[in-house]
């Protein structure tokens, strides 16, 4: 059996096309241009790439965007001052502060300082609370994108046993809440979970979001299960590439060119057991950016009572 690959890139293009169309109408009819401010602290290369592609996507869809880069040594107070300024800035509808933040910064303080109406990442306690209570607010982009993937592929969630690996505020926790609201029966697993692999074997749906290379193996999956691989891990050794990718030619080329290739939390060979699987890259990643654009458009409309 070979799993059907869930094409996150294709779905993300659909979502972005819808956003682009609405942004155009908003500008033509009301002269409103949704604006996103992306804040990055320090020089983490991966963060630079993520923020760069978020800003580029804004430009390609007709949204206004600003990128603020602060030094690695920035204090919580300095970052708070920028967040407060952006909260007041009329041209900005959405504020995102790229994670991870340097150790000296109190991330909780920062997320709580972002105005809930501009919190397009859905990390503010008010928005997390609204999600828990199934009220309308901003939902974290990655799990929101995964729900869109289910919807647009016509994959029913209600009544299914969904196992979420990871309980972070960015992915695991909001994912579990969204699945619960969609009437799945949800089990959350984390680093202290016992007999985790017995639990995943019972799952109709597995969401793997722990950041551990190829953690989920063919042995851990019920045949035909829907497997969503959120993890982004880097492989930089040829032996690892040969070990994990049965079809390794392209991956070795990539390794030679870039010095690394990406792998998820799910062993690629799981496509022989799962019914549906998201690839890495090209699965969940593009959906996250598309949902950020959708959330920024929503923020622009809500802030003006539209
Ligand atoms: P965090 O490090 O914040 O959370 C990891 C979670 O996984 C924690 O809940 C932790 O448990 C759990 N965990 C870690 N190791 C194990 C283990 N061995 N067994 C069981 N549970 C474990 O990570 P994020 O949620 O931010 O990200 C997870 C992954 O998803 C990363 O690879 C990240 O790069 C990727 N990601 C991808 C995105 C995309 O757009 N594709 C977006 C966001 C993240 P505990 O709580 O007990 O510590």
Render pLDDT for 7-54 as a digit per residue (tens, 0 to 9).
999 999 999 999 999 999 999 999 999 999 999 999 898 899 999 999
Q: Are strands 261-263 and 185-189 parallel, antiparallel or unpaired?
A: unpaired
Residue 178 CA, chain-centre distance (Å), reads 14
Question: Does ligand 1 have an atom closer than 6 angstroms to the CB of 290?
Answer: no
With cut-offs at 50, 70 and 90, classify the pLDDT of residue 178: very high
Summarised one tens digit per residue, pLDDT across range 201-242 is: 999 999 999 999 999 999 999 999 999 999 999 999 999 999
Scored b (16 or more CB within 10 A) or e, 217-232 reads: eeebbbeebbbbbbbb
pLDDT exceeds 70 at position 1: no
CA distance 250 to 125: 43
Q: Which CATH superfamily is domain 141-284 in?
A: NAD(P)-binding Rossmann-like Domain (3.40.50.720)
Topology at the third CATH level for domain 30-115? Rossmann fold (3.40.50)
247, burial (CB in 10 Å: exposed 0-12, middle 13-18, buried 19+): exposed
For residue 249, the model assigns a pLDDT of 97
pLDDT exceeds 80 at position 302: yes
pLDDT exceeds 70 at position 116: yes
CA distance 270 to 278: 11
Catalytic residue among 16, 93, 119, 121: 121
Q: Are strands 94-97 and 35-41 parallel, antiparallel or unpaired?
A: parallel
For residue 125, the model assigns a pLDDT of 97
Supply 125's token pair: 């306690």
Annotated active-site residue 54? The verdict is yes
pLDDT exceeds 70 at position 112: yes
Q: What are phi and psi of 290, to 5 degrees?
A: -60, -40
Helix (H) or strand (E) holding 96: strand 94-97
Domain ranges of the chain: 30-115, 141-284
In 3D space, the residue among 41, 121, 103, 117 whose CA is nearest the CA of residue 78 turns out to be 41
Pair 98, 39: CB distance under 8 Å: yes
In 209-277, DSSP assigns E strands to 226-229, 233-235, 261-263, 276-277
Question: Does ligand 1 have an atom closer than 6 angstroms to the CB of 285?
Answer: yes
d(CA 140, ligand 1 centre) in Å: 14
Q: What are phi and psi of 163, to 5 degrees?
A: -110, 120
d(CA 53, ligand 1 centre) in Å: 22
For residue 64, the model assigns a pLDDT of 98
Mean pLDDT of 63-78: 97
d(CA 211, ligand 1 centre) in Å: 5
Do the domains 141-284 and 30-115 match in fold? Answer: yes
In 3D space, the residue among 208, 197, 216, 136 whose CA is nearest the CA of residue 172 turns out to be 208
Average pLDDT score, the chain: 97
Candidate of 148, 168, 187 to mutate for ligand 1, largest count of ligand atoms within 8 Å of Cβ: 168
Edge to edge, what strands does the sheet with 161-165 contain? 4-5, 276-277, 226-229, 205-208, 161-165, 185-189
pTM of the predicted model as reported, rounded to 2 decimal places: 0.97
The sign of the dihedral angle between the CA atoms of 131, 136, 140, 142 is positive
Mean pLDDT of 133-142: 98
For residue 193, the model assigns a pLDDT of 98
């Amino acid at each position: 059996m070979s799993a059907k690959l869930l094409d996150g890139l294709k779905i993300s293009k659909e979502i972005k096309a819808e956003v682009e169309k609405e942004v155009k109408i908003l500008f033509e009819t009301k002269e409103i241009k949704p604006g996103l401010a992306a804040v990055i602290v320090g020089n983490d290369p991966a963060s630079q790439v993520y923020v760069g592609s978020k800003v580029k996507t804004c430009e390609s869809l007709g949204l206004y965007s600003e990128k603020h880069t602060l030094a690695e040594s920035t204090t919580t107070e300095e970052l708070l001052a920028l967040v407060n300024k952006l909260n007041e800035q009329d041209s900005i509808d959405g504020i995102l502060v790229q994670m991870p933040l340097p150790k000296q910064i109190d991330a909780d303080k920062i997320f709580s300082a972002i105005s809930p109406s501009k919190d397009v990442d859905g990390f503010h306690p008010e928005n997390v609370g609204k999600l828990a209570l199934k009220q309308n607010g901003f939902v974290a982009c990655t799990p929101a994108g995964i729900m869109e993937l289910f919807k647009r592929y016509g994959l029913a969630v209600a009544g299914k046993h969904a196992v979420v690996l990871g309980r972070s505020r960015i992915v695991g926790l909001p994912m579990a809440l969204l699945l619960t609201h969609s009437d799945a029966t949800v089990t959350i697993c984390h680093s202290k979970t016992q007999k985790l692999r017995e639990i995943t074997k019972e799952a109709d749906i597995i969401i793997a979001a722990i950041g551990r290379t190829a953690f989920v193996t063919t042995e851990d999956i019920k045949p035909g299960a829907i497997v969503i691989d959120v993890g982004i891990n880097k492989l930089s050794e040829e032996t690892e590439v040969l070990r994990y990718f049965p079809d390794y030619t392209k991956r070795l080329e990539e390794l030679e060119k870039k010095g690394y290739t990406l792998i998820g939390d799910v062993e690629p060979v799981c496509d022989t057991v799962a019914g549906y699987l998201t690839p890495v890259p090209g699965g969940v990643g593009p959906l996250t950016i598309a949902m950020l654009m959708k959330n920024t458009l929503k923020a622009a409309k809500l802030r003006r009572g539209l």
